[in-house]
Amino acid sequence: MLQGAIVTLIALNRRFGGVQPLTAPVENNSQAYINALASVLAKAEQHHFVLQLLSAEKQRQLQHQLGLGSTLLAPDDLRAAWVERGRSLRDLNRVLHLQTKSRLSKGELQQWLQQWEAIASQSRNSEKVTR
């Protein structure tokens, strides 16, 4: 009977495979920092601060695509450069107007970011056509 129990234990151990050591999860410190900062800013209700940072970065990216450098231009100068390249002001005015609000809901923020992406896409597509 003892022999039967030992054989059964050995068989069960082999059935599920050998023991595999646990590996430590890979930490992404950048992502952890971003998540922590986002949490702190949300708890402090610093929506306007976050919106200002995002607005400035999105504008820098657009200016870079338009060949206007990385120094932030005044909204009127950006509009003039946008029109000079034959683009409609409607979409650009919408994102520039929304970034002046002190607080956007989560849905409005997502929509605003999608509008910025659409503007950047327009800029990229028109650059491909002109080349």
Q: What is the pLDDT of residues 39-74, one digit of tens each?
A: 998 888 888 888 888 899 999 999 998 889 989 999
Q: Is residue 5 part of a domain?
A: no
Cα–Cα distance, 23 to 4 (Å, whole number) = 35
Cα–Cα distance, 39 to 33 (Å, whole number) = 10
pLDDT tens track for 87-96: 888 888 888 8
Q: Is residue 104 part of a domain?
A: yes
Tell me the one-letter amino acid at 117: E
Q: Is residue 27 part of a domain?
A: no
Q: Is residue 42 part of a domain?
A: yes
Cα angle 35-119-108, degrees, rounded to a multiple of 5? 50
pLDDT band at 5 (very low <50, low <70, confident <90, very high): confident
Q: Is residue 48 part of a domain?
A: yes
Question: Which residues, including other chains, have CB under 8 Å from residue 59's CB and lie 6 or more apart?
Answer: 72, 73, 78
